[in-house]
Amino acid sequence: MQSKNSNIRFLIIMAMHDEAKPLINAMKLNEQGRINPNYTIEHYSGQTSGHTIDLIVNGRCSVYNVDQIGTQVSTLCAHLGIEKFNPNIVINAGTAGGFNSDNATIGDVYLSYPAINYHDRRINIPDFKEYGIGQYPAYNCSTITKALGLRTGIVTTGNSLDYTEQDMAMIKSYNGVVKDMEAAAIAWVAQQHSIPFLAIKSITDIVDGEHPTEREFLQNLHIASENLARQAVKVIDWFTKEGI
């Protein structure tokens, strides 16, 4: 455990610039350019209460000119960030889908606990089935959630904005309550390095609701990102006071 008096180095990984901008502004982080010249991954850094913040954003695809969402580039971001900055904790902050079945509302912020899973890696072979789901551990944030009044739940990751019936069956089988496109990939890399991992997710859309996901996502991205920034600052502040 990192002591209260030790300098904590935070690595925050985010998929979209519009998600990241409110947090970058709130923490007064400075743009540092690309983390690696071969990739369009953006790096921002700063200090808070004597602790170091490194925030990296997946960046925009040079071919399609869109934010590079999903697990592929998030795995790369996590690897490059951990190798370069040697953080004490990895945080994936971003927006996600919530569920009516969990009474989620737009703008709610969840912390990942007790695990992060995949829902679209279906491998119906003994042992490989469990490997596909993943079950990556999340930082035990129960004390944080009590202090800040946030919600917790299993974050479930896939590479599609929508879902299939098989996806939903998988999500329900392990009681997933937050559906995103990056967390499990980053959690896996953090696990390989034995670094604590936490996801902070703000709800843009209700997965099992009556409105199309893509419409809700675009409509609510701004408010969800603003809520995400406010709560992420509080979580980071908690760590700077209490340690990891």
In this predicted model, what pLDDT tens digit does every residue of 163-177 receive, in sequence order? Answer: 999 999 999 999 999
Residue 237 annotated as catalytic: no
Sketch the domain layout of the chain as residue ranges. 9-242
Tell whether the model's pLDDT for residue 82 goes beyond 80: yes
Instruction: Return d(Cα 80, Cα 90) in angstroms, integer.
Output: 12
| Range 187-211 average pLDDT | 97
Residue 214 annotated as catalytic: no
- Which residue among the candidates 54, 102, 120, 205 is catalytic per the annotation? 205
> For a pLDDT cut of 70, what percent of the chain falls above it?
98
Q: Band of the pLDDT at 220, cuts 50, 70, 90?
A: very high
| Range 72-92 average pLDDT | 98
More reliable by pLDDT, 49 or 4: 49
pLDDT in tens, 32-70: 999 999 999 999 999 999 999 999 999 999 999 999 999
Beta-carbon contacts of residue 112 (< 8 Å; ≥ 6 apart): 138, 139, 141, 152, 153, 154, 155, 178, 183, 187, 197, 198, 199, 200, 201
| Range 21-35 average pLDDT | 98
φ/ψ of residue 97, rounded to 5 = -95, 145
Predicted TM-score of the model (pTM): 0.96
The three-class DSSP label of residue 115 is strand
- Which residue among the candidates 19, 67, 102, 167 is catalytic per the annotation? 19
Pick among 3.40.50.150, 3.40.50.1580, 3.10.420.10, 3.30.365.10: CATH of 9-242: 3.40.50.1580
pLDDT in tens, 102-140: 999 999 999 999 999 999 999 999 999 999 999 999 999
Tell whether the model's pLDDT for residue 5 goes beyond 90: no
